[in-house]
Structure 1
C-alpha cells in the first residue's frame, strides 16, 4: 500500500506591505491620537503605531522614496516632534533618522519639510535626558549626509542649537573627556571610552559637520558670544587630539574595545576650529603701532622717515636697543621670550614649544579665498609640523661653509612626500642643539599671538598684506644657515644672547623677486662688515644682500664663543601686485576703461586695444632691468606717524611719476612682440603673471580677455600685427604716450588699496585660523 502523500499547503501570498490596509490604518490612528493628546489611550496608540512603522523602515525593507506611505509619514513627524511627551519625541526622531537613510531622495524630502527640521533641532535643548540628545544628534547626522540636509539645518539655526547643546553638557564632561584616536583606512576618528562621554562627542560631530559645510557668510552669522563660549572647550578637546597625533597614540579599528568611535576625524575637528576662528576678533593680541614702531625705529617719528629715505630697499641698517623701554628692552616679544627662556634650559623650552605646534602650509601668492585654500591643505590641516615646510634643523661647517641637515632622511628628495615630526623627533632636536645645530621654525606669526600682532602692525606700516616671522635658536660656537641672500627684506630682532653677523655691502641681485635664484657667487663676497647683535638690537637687511650669522666671533685661536642665541626675522615679502610694476598695471587697466569709450570707439581694427595688452607686456619686460618697478609700492601703508603722512604721499606720487617716465621712454614694442612669439613657441600663457588683476573686476571684459590669450589667439594677433607693422607700432606709441601723460595716481591708489584690502583680509583670516589651532 502506497503511503499517503502529504500535501504541503502553499504559503499564503503576502500582500505588499505598502498596500496593506492594516499598515495604512496606522497613520489615521496615529494622527487621531496626536490630535487628542489628553486622552490616556493616545500615547500607547501613538507609540504602538510608530514602532510598527519603524519596523517597516529597517535597512533591508522595500520602502523607497517613491512609496505612497512617505507623504503620510512626513505629515505625522512635525506633530510628533512638537509633542510635549519625550518618549513620543524620541520615537519621532528615530523615524526621521530611518527615513533619512532610505535614499538621497527620501533624505531631501525630509529636509524639505521645515516643520520636521525645526522640530528636530529644537529638541536638542528641550529635554535634559541624554538618551533624547543622543537620538536627536544621530538623526541630525543622518539628515546631514546630503547637501540639502545640511543647508536646511543651517536655515533653521540648527548649528546654533547644536553648539548650545554642546555647552549644556560640557561643564561636567568635556574637562574629563578621554579622547581616543581610532585609525581606519588612513583616517583618525575621535572616540571615547565611556558611555556617558558619547553625548558631547555626538554634539561635537554634528556641529563640525555643519561648520565645515558653511560658506563664509554663514560662518559670520554665528553669534560672536556663542563662538567665544565654545572656543575654550574646543581648544581643550583639540589639545588632547593634538597630543595623541604627536605621540602616535592611535588605536586600530579592529582592536577597539569598550570605545565609541564617532564619524568625526581629527582633520574635520581641526577644520571646524579653523573655520570658526577666521573672523574672530580676539585671536590676535593688541599691539599699538607706536609701540612697534618705537621698538624698531626709535622713539622719534623722524627715525622712520630717515630710515625710509636712506635705507629702505637700498642698504643694511643697524638699530641699537632703544632706552625708552628700560624695564624690557625687547618688550614687544617679552611674553614669547618668557615661554622660551624659563627656568629650564633652552633646548628643553624649545621642545616644549614645538610640541604645541601644528603644520602651517604656506599661502599661495594669489590666494584670497581662505575656504578655497582649505581644500588644498585639508589633508594636512592640524597635523604635526612638517620638516622643511615648518622646521629645519641645520648647521654650517665653519671651514667648508656647507650646510648639513640633522634629519637627512627627511629631506624631500629622499622620501616620498613631506614628513611630519613625531614626539621622538622633537626630543631629538635637543640632542641636535647640543651638537651645534640651529633650529629654524617658519611661520611664527601663525603660532604666537604676540608675534602675530607685531607682524600685523609692520605689514600696515609698509602697505603689504602680511609679514612673516621665522624663529632661529642657535647653540654656542656654531652657525646655522650658510651665507645666502633673501628674496624679501627682513628685520632681524635679537631676543636672547648675542650673535655675530657678517653682511656684504653690495647686493648680489638688486631687489630680487620672490622665488628668484638665491645662489651666491663666491667672487662677490668681498669687503664684509661685521655686526654684533645684542639683546634688543634690530638689523635691517634689504633683499639681495648676502649675509651669514654665528655664535662665534672668528675662527682664529683666540676666537670668542658667545652663548646661545635666539632671534626672530620679520620678513616683508613683496608680492607681484604690490610692487610698483603692479601699481602701473592697475593704472593702465583703469586708464583703458576710462578712455575706452572715447579713444577706442572708432578703433574698428582693434589695433589700439591690442596695443594696451602689448604695453602690459612691455612694462613686465621693463621691470626686469629697471629696479624701480621691483620696489615695494607703499601706497596702501597705514599706521604711520601723523607728521610722516604728507611726506609719504609726496614720495609715492614722485615714485609713480618716475615709473611713468621710464615706461614712456623705455617700453619697447619690438621686445614685446618677441616675448609673444616665444610664448607661442612654448605654448605658454603670455599673461599668467597678471591673473591677480581679475581680483579687481573679474567680470570686466578687459580683464576677462587675459583669460583668453591662448596660443591660437596670440598667433592671430601676431599675424595681424606683422601685416600692419607700421600702424601697430604707431598705435602702441600713441597708447603709451597718452597713458603716461595722464595723472592716474589717485585713481590707481584707490583700486590698489581695494586689492590690498582683499589680500590683507584673506591673510588675516588664515592667520586667525592657524593661531586657533596653536592655542
Structure 2
C-alpha cells in the first residue's frame, strides 16, 4: 500500500494498487536516491536590504511629530526612493535568507497609521474594529516576529533564513503589491486588544466571534472569496470589499512568516492560538482552491498575494506539532486484531509473523463490544454505494513523497513547496481498476478507468466519475488513508507501536459485486486486511522463496511461482481480519451467491481496509547489526585512555568498520534472517513483565546467531571487488543504502576519524590503498577486527540506539501525518 509516501520507489510493480508511490528518476536497484545538494544563497541580497532598503522602510513608517500634521519631506522622499527601488529593472536579487529586519518590521507595517506619502499600506476602508480576528492573528504574528526571533531560520546574523530563491521571489511579488499607495489606514485600538480602523463605515456586529473567540468562519475573507467563486466572470472582476483587504494583508503576513520559520521552533507557539489561525487559513485555502479552478476569475490574485500552495504549506507547518486528540493505546488495537488474551499477539509474532497467513474470525457479539472497529466502521457512510464513495473520495488532496531516510521536515518542505495541497494524481494516490481476461497463468489483466498520471482538480466531477466506475465493475483503491482519516491514523500509529516499527500505512478498497480489482500479485510488506462491509474471497499461495522481498527492490515475474489449482482460500465477512505475509502471492474478489444480488444489495459490495507493516532498512535484523557495530565502535573510542597514542590498528578501525558494514550488506543478500523484521522495540503486553518474554528471548537468540554467521562468513574478496568497481567509476550509488547511518550519534573524540555515510567514496579509496600496500596484513587485521566485534558486541547497547533511532523516524512520520491530516480538514482539535 501507499503508506508513508517515499520518493525512493521503483518505477513498475505488478501490484497496481498496493505498491507505493513511484517517483520517476529517483530509483535505483538499492532503492536509494542521491540527495540534492542545496546551495544556500542570498547573503548579498540580505545585506543589501539591511543597508539600502530597511532604513527607507523604517523612515516611511515613522510617525510625524503631530497626529494631525502632514508627512515630513523626508518621509515623502523615502516613499519616492522606495517606489523607485521596487520598480527598477532588472528586479532586485532574491531575499534569501529573509532578513530579520524585514520580519521584525512586519508587525509595525500592520499597525502603522497612514500618512500622506506613506507607500507601505494599501487603501484600507475596514470596520471600526476587527474584533478577535485581528487580535488573535496579530498576536500570532508578533509571537513569530518578536518572541520567536531566535527561532527563525538563522542566517548567521539573527535573521530569518529561507531556502533557495523561491521565497525571495514571493516576497518581491507581494511587496510590490502591498506597497502600493492609497488612502485610509488602521492602527491598534488602544487598550482593547484588537485592531481599530480609521474611516470605517461598517458596524462591528458582522465581526463578532463565536463563544470560542474565533470569527465565524472567518467571514470577511471567506465570504468575499465565496461571492467571487459563485458570481461568474462579472463578479470576479469586481473589486473586493475594502474591509476584506485588511484581512487579506493579515493572512498574507501570517503565511509569509510561518513559511519563513524553522519548523522545529513553531511548537513554542500557543496551541489554542495555532488552532484558531489554522482554521482561518484552511477556510481561506479551501475557497481559494475553488476560485483557482475558474479560468476567468483573476481578481483575487490582486488581493490575496499568497498562492494556494503557500497557504497549504503554512497549514502543514502549523499543525504537525499539535497534540493529536484521536489516540489509541497499542493494547486497544491488540485486542481488536488478535483477541482479548495477552498471549495471542505473542503467539502470532512467534508462529505467523513473516511466515504464514493467519485469520481471526469475529462473531457479531465480538463486534458489538469492539470500540476500535465501531469507530472505524462509523467513519464511512455505508447506506448506499454512492454514499460510500462520497465518504472517502470527496475532499482529497495528494500526498507528496518523502525520502525513506529523510528526517528533516524542512528539507522535505523545501523540495515539495509547490506540491502541497495539489489535487490527487492517478496511480500515485488512487487507482480505479478491474481485472478481466484470465491469461494462461490465471493471473488476469488489469484495466484502468483513468489514464496514468491524470490529476483531478475538480473534486466533484472526480467523485461522480468514481461512482460511474463502480457501476461498471471497477474497484477503487485509495492510498494513504492514515493521512486522510484521524480514526485510521490512530489505528495505524498504535499498530506501529505494537510491532516496533516507524509507521503503518493504510489503504481502503471498495469493490462492486462479482468483481476482481487487483490482479494476482505479492507485496514487499506484510498486510493486515480488515473487512468493514460485505465479504470477499481471498486465494493465497505460499512463498516459494526463502528470501523475503525487501522494500524498494524490483518485483519478480509470477511465472512458475504458483499452481493455479492449489492455494489457500479464505472468505472474510464483516469484522474478520486476515494476515498476509510479504512475498505470499494472493488475489481477491467479491463472492456473490446466485440470487442474492437482488435481495441485499449492500452486502454484495465489499469495503476493506489494509494496514501495511513496512519494514524499513534500519529496522530489519541487518539494520540492527549495523547499529550494533556502530555502538561497539563508539564504545572502543570511549574506553581508550585520554591522551594515549593510538595504535595503527585503532586508527584504521573506522575504515575496517566501513568495510564490515559492506560485508554485512552482502551477507543479507542470501541470509533470510537478516531480512526479517527486528522486533526488539515491539510493545507487547508480556514485554512489560519482570521476566523476559518468549519473544524477547527469541530476539536475543537471533542476534547471537547472526553474529556467529558474520564471524564465519568469508566475503572479503566480494566486498573489496564491489568497492573497487565503485571507486574506479566514481559511483556512490551502490552505497546509498547506508546513508541512514548518518542519523546515529557519533561521539567527538580528539584525533578520532569520523565517516560521512552520505559521502563514502573518499574513505573507500583509502581502504583500497590500505589493502593494495599490504593485502595480507590488512586482511589479517580486518579478520581480527571482525572477530572482536562478533565476540564483544552488546545486545542491550544496540537496543538503546535502535529504539532512539525508531523515535526519530516515528517523529518525522508523525509530523508528516499530522500536516497531511490538516490539509484534509483535520486540524487536531
Give me the TM-score of the superposition, normalised by structure 1: 0.76
Q: How does 1:490-639 map to 2 (within 5 A)?
A: 490-508=527-545, 510-526=547-563, 527-552=566-591, 563-596=604-637, 598=640, 601-603=646-648, 606-638=651-683
Partner residue in 2 for 1:76: none
Q: Give per-residue Cα distances to partners, 1:699-753, cap 9 Å, x unaligned.
A: 866553434432x654453243144222122112111111111141111111111
Equivalent of residue 661 in structure 1, options 688, 700, 708: 708
1:312 lines up with 2:359 in the alignment: no
Question: Quick one: distance in 2 between partners of 1:106 and 1:478?
Answer: 57
Structure 2 counterpart of 1:368: 407
Give the aligned partner of residue 472 of structure 1.
509
CA distance change for structure 1 residues 131 and 492 in 2, over 3 Å: closer, same or farther?
same
CA distance in 2, matches of 1:250, 1:477: 42
TM-superposed CA distance for 1:259, in Å, is 8.5
What is the aligned partner in structure 1 of residue 308 from structure 2? 266
Alignment RMSD? 4.3
Q: 1:104 to 1:388 in 2, by over 3 A?
A: closer
The question of whether the paired residues in 1 share the 8 Å contact of 2:621 and 2:674 is answered with: yes
The residue number in structure 2 matching 1:83 is none
Counterpart of 2:263 in structure 1 is 216
Partners of 1:676 and 1:554 lie apart in 2 by: 60
Rate the CA distance shift 1:603–1:324 in 2: closer, same or farther, 3 A. farther
Task: Kindly indicate whether the alpha-carbon contact (under 8 Å) linking 2:634 and 2:747 is maintained by their aligned counterparts in 1.
Answer: no
C-alpha separation between the residues in 2 aligned to 1:622 and 1:771?
40
User: How far off is 1:378 after superposition?
Assistant: 1.8
Q: Which residue, out of 739, 742, 747, partners 2:792? A: 742
Change (3 A) 1:356 1:738: same
Task: Give the direction of change, closer, same or farther, for the CA distance of 1:402–1:554 in structure 2 (3 Å limit).
Answer: farther
Shift of 1:108: 12
Which has the larger Rg? 1
Q: Aligned partners of 1:634, 1:670: CA distance in 2, in Å?
A: 32
Contact kept in structure 2, 1:194 and 1:260, CA below 8 Å? no
Among 420, 429, 449, the residue aligned to 2:486: 449
| Residue in structure 2 matched with residue 19 of structure 1 by the alignment | none
CA distance in 2, matches of 1:623, 1:110: 50
SS of the counterpart of 1:249?
coil
Secondary structure at the aligned position of 2:604 is classed as coil
Sort the Cα spacing of 1:398 and 1:477 in 2 relative to 1 into closer, same or farther, 3 A.
farther
Query: Structure 1 CA distance, aligned partners of 2:341 and 2:403?
Result: 37
**Partners in 2 of 1:109 and 1:726 — Cα distance?**
57
Deviation at 1:322, TM superposition (A): 5.5
Name the structure 2 match of 1:297. 338
Q: Partner of 1:724 in structure 2?
A: 774
Residue 155 of structure 1: aligned partner: 149
Secondary structure in structure 1 of the residue aligned to 2:578: strand
Distance verdict in 2 for CA 1:115–1:349, change over 3 Å: closer
Residue 332 in structure 1 maps to residue 354 in structure 2: no
Instruction: Tell me the equivalent position of 2:70.
Output: 48
Work out whether 1:402 is the aligned partner of 2:444: yes
1:689 corresponds in structure 2 to 737
3-state SS of 1:264 partner = coil
Aligned pairs for 1:48-197 (under 5 A) are 48-50=70-72, 52-59=73-80, 112=101, 130=126, 155=149, 170-171=215-216, 173=220, 176-179=223-226, 193-197=240-244
- Note if contact 1:179-1:190 (Cα within 8 Å) is conserved in structure 2: no
Task: Tell me by how many angstroms 1:289 deviates.
Answer: 2.4
User: What is the match of residue 9 of structure 1?
Assistant: none
Q: Structure 1 residues 747, 625: CA separation in 2 closer, same or farther (over 3 Å shift)? A: same
Displacement of 1:598 in angstroms is 4.6
Partner of 2:4: none
2:755 matched residue in structure 1: 704
Cα displacement (A) at 1:178: 2.9
Q: Contact 1:394–1:406 at 8 Å: present in 2 too?
A: yes
Q: Provide Cα deviations, 1:371-421, integer angstroms capped at 9, x if missing partner.
A: 21112222221112111110011111152343434345x314xx8xx7767
The count of corresponding residues between Structure 1 and Structure 2 is 666
How far 1:442 moved relative to its partner?
Answer: 0.5
- Taking the aligned partners of 1:103 and 1:131, their CA distance within structure 2 comes to 36
Bigger Cα displacement from structure 2, 431-440 vs 718-727:
718-727
Q: Distance in 1 between matches of 2:238 and 2:354?
A: 54
- SS of residue matched to 2:326: coil
**SS at structure 1 position matched to 2:403:** coil
Taking a change above 3 Å as real, the CA distance of residues 193 and 519 of structure 1, as seen in their structure-2 partners, is: farther
Q: Which residue of 1 aligns with 2:20?
A: none
Q: What does residue 431 of structure 2 align with?
A: 392
Name the structure 2 match of 1:434: 471
What SS does the corresponding residue of 2:648 show, helix, strand or coil? coil
Distance 1:767 1:43, change over 3 A: closer
- Quote the residue 2:381 is aligned against: 341
Alpha-carbon offset, residue 763 of structure 1:
0.4
Structure 1 residues 205, 543: closer, same or farther in 2, change over 3 A? Answer: same
Measured after TM superposition, the shift of residue 517 of structure 1 is: 2.3
Q: Residues 173, 215 of structure 1: CA spacing in aligned structure 2 closer, same or farther, 3 A cutoff?
A: same
TM-score w.r.t. length of structure 2: 0.72
Q: What is the deviation of 1:629?
A: 0.8
How far does the alpha carbon of each residue in 1:510-547 deviate from its partner, in whole angstroms, 9 at most, with x for none?
32110222234232212300100111111101111111
Relative to 1, partners in 2 of residues 1:606 and 1:191: Cα closer, same or farther, differing over 3 Å? farther
How many angstroms apart in 2 are the aligned matches of 1:114 and 1:213? 9
Q: 1:505, 1:545 within 8 Å by CA — same for their partners in 2?
A: yes
Partner of 2:317 in structure 1?
A: 275
In 2: Cα distance, 1:379 partner to 1:639 partner: 41
Superposed displacement of residue 154, structure 1: 5.0
Does residue 1:201 correspond to 2:248, yes or no? yes
Q: Does the aligned pair in 2 maintain the 1:180–1:190 contact within 8 Å?
A: no
What residue is the counterpart of 1:761 in the other structure? 811
Q: Secondary structure at the match of 2:543?
A: coil
Partner of 1:771: 821
Pick 1 or 2: higher relative contact order, CA cutoff 8 A, min separation 6.
Answer: 2
**Distance apart, 1:206 and its partner CA:** 1.0
Q: What is the CA-CA distance between 1:551 and the residue it aligns to? A: 0.7
Shift of 1:507: 4.3
1:484 pairs with 2:521: yes
Partner secondary structure for residue 687 of structure 1: helix
- 1:199 is displaced (CA, Å) by 2.5
Q: Is the 8 A contact 2:312 2:420 kept in 1?
A: yes
**1:504 Cα deviation from its structure 2 partner:** 0.5
Q: Single out whichever of 726-735 and 266-275 deviates more from structure 2.
A: 726-735
Residue 58 of structure 1: how far off its partner (Å): 4.0
